[in-house]
Amino acid sequence: MGHTSTSSEGLVKATREEMRDAKLPIAYRDSCANLLIPLNRCRVDTYYMPWKCEDERHSYEKCQYVEFKKRVAKMDELRASKDGARSN
């Protein structure tokens, strides 16, 4: 149950126990949670100073962007398979 797995980019995903221990809200427990945990820890340690934790924030935001692009590509594939018909 506490095993770790790797994402498509080779990063180790956070386990459910790690996310629970870090008190991540359910909405943020995604494939980028392994980057959010150290970012939140850095933010607390540096009193949320905007010029601190830049590397951690950039890594997390890039991960979120890559995941967004994957979702868009998947949606485009689904639309193409339905001959461009929209679901809404």
For residue range 19-64, what is the model confidence (pLDDT) as tens digits?
999 999 999 999 999 999 999 999 999 999 999 999 999 999 999 9
pTM to 2 decimal places: 0.80
Measured between alpha carbons, how far is 64 from 67 in angstroms, rounded to an integer?
A: 5
- State the CB neighbour count (10 A cutoff) for residue 47: 7
Any idea how long the chain is?
A: 88
Helix axes 33-45, 54-81, angle to 10 degrees: 150
User: Which candidate, 27, 37, 43, places its Cα nearest to that of 4?
Assistant: 37
Domain boundaries, given as residue ranges, for the chain: 16-81
